[in-house]
Chain A
Amino acid sequence: MNALLGALQDSPLGELVRGAGVWSYGILNAVHVIGLAALFGAIVVLDLRLLGWRAARPLHEVAAGTVPIAAIGLAVAAVTGLAMLSSNARDYVRNPFLLVKFAALAVGLLNLLLLHRSRAWRAVRERRDASSGDRRRLAMGGALSLVAWIATIVAGRLMGYA
Chain B
Amino acid sequence: MFRKILCAVLAAAAVLLAVPAFAHHGWAGNDDKEFELTGTVEQPVSLSGPHATMKIRAEGEVWDITLAPPPRTQAAGLKADSLPKGATVTVHGHRNKDPKRFEIKTERVTYEGKVFDVYPDRS
A and B co-occur in one complex: yes
Q: Residues on A close to B: CB < 8 A?
A: 17-19, 22-26, 29, 48, 51-53, 87-88, 91, 136, 139, 142-143, 146-147, 150-151, 154, 157-158, 160-162
Given contacts A53-B2, A154-B17, contact A22 B23 (CB under 8 A): no
B86 part of interface (Cβ distance < 8 Å): no
Partner of A17 from the list B24, B48, B69, B73 (CB cut-off 8 Å) is B48
Flag whether B74 is at the interface (Cβ < 8 A).
yes
Within 8 A of A (CB), among B14-50: 16-17, 19-20, 23-26, 29, 46-50
B contact set with A: CB distance below 8 Å = 1-2, 5-6, 8-9, 12-13, 16-17, 19-20, 23-26, 29, 46-50, 53, 69-71, 73-74
Smallest CB-CB A-B distances: 10 pairs: A88-B49, A52-B2, A22-B70, A18-B48, A22-B71, A154-B16, A143-B5, A161-B23, A146-B9, A87-B49
Is A150 within 8 A of B6, CB to CB?
A: no
Query: Nearest A residue to B50 by beta-carbon distance?
Result: A25
List, sorted by A's number, 7 A–B pairs whose CB atoms are closer than 8 Å: A22-B47, A22-B71, A139-B1, A139-B5, A143-B8, A147-B9, A157-B20
Measured between beta carbons, the chain B residues less than 8 angstroms from A88 are 48-50, 53
Contacting pair B12 A150 (CB below 8 A): yes
Contacts of B23 in A (CB 8 A): 158, 161-162
A139 touches B2 (CB 8 A): yes
* B46: contacting residue among A18, A52, A142, CB under 8 A: A18
- Which of chain A's residues has its CB closest to B79's CB? A22
| Chain A neighbourhood of B73, CB < 8 A | 22
- In the bound complex, how far is the Cα of B19 from the Cα of A150, in angstroms? 12
Residue of B nearest to A18 (CB): B48
B50 lies within 8 A of A160 (CB): yes
Cβ–Cβ contact A51 & B71, under 8 A: no
Contact A161 B25 (CB under 8 A): yes
In Å, the complex CA distance between A142 and B23 comes to: 29
